[in-house]
Copies of this chain bind each other. A is one copy, B any other.
Amino acid sequence: MDRREEIILAAEKSFSMFGYKATTMDQVAKIANVGKGTIYTFFSNKEELFHSIVWKMVEEMKDISERTAIEGATFQENAHARIMQLLKFRETHQLFIKLIEEEKELRTPAVGDVLTTIEKEIVNFIAGKIDRGVAKGELKPCDSELIAYLLFKSYVALVNDWSKTHDKQLTEKQITDVLNNTIFSSLLV
């Protein structure tokens, strides 16, 4: 297999297992069965390698979310399913878990940067769906980025944050009910 691919696979494995800070270039080289210098012929430094891996993950995440859409479902149903999928990915995917953990405990700057980039990408992704809904005449015209932002933050608040200060998680019905009555209802034509 070509060396670049070996390196990417090795880096994926190592970043997922140990996080950004704790993976060493020696480590990656070893796993990839490659001399350390070889990595630098494909990636100019550790951070570029890291971005490469993370970007691949983001694409995969968007892809999965995309495939979650159901033919013939309403905008709200699809949006709900897609966003829930994104949140689930966040707490399921090894690398993502590790990055969130590292951000919380270690405050590694490179990781913080990457996480905000990912958030932006997610919000953009949602905004794109809204724009498409508007174009198809399903939704009222609106500031799609702002709405996407509010929507995503609301989901995170209700799905993830709520349970940090309350002992029983919100049910999916409670979440869809409140959001259908508020943000979603304001979007529909």
Task: Give the CA-CA distance A59 to B185 in the complex, in Å.
Answer: 36
Interfacial residues of chain A within 143-189, with CB under 8 A of chain B in the complex: 143, 146-147, 149-150, 153-154, 157-158, 161-162, 164-165, 170, 174, 178, 181-183, 185-186
Per-residue contact bits, chain A 91-112, to B (CB 8 Å; 1 contact, 0 not): 0000000000000000000000
Residues of B close to A154: CB separation below 8 A: 150, 153-154, 157
Interfacial residues of chain A within 28-75, with CB under 8 A of chain B in the complex: none
Rounded to whole Å, the gap between the CB of A92 and the closest CB of chain B is: 23
- State the oligomeric state as a number of copies: 2
Residues of B close to A178: CB separation below 8 A: 143, 146-147, 150
B170 touches A146 (CB 8 A): yes
Q: Interface residues of A, CB < 8 Å — how many?
A: 24
Q: A154-B154, A182-B183 are in contact. List 15 more A-B contacts (CB 8 A).
A: A116-B164, A120-B165, A146-B170, A146-B174, A146-B178, A149-B158, A150-B154, A150-B157, A150-B158, A150-B182, A153-B157, A182-B182, A182-B185, A182-B186, A185-B185
A-B pairs, top 10 by smallest CB distance, nearest first, are A153-B157, A181-B186, A182-B182, A182-B186, A182-B183, A116-B165, A120-B165, A146-B178, A150-B154, A154-B154
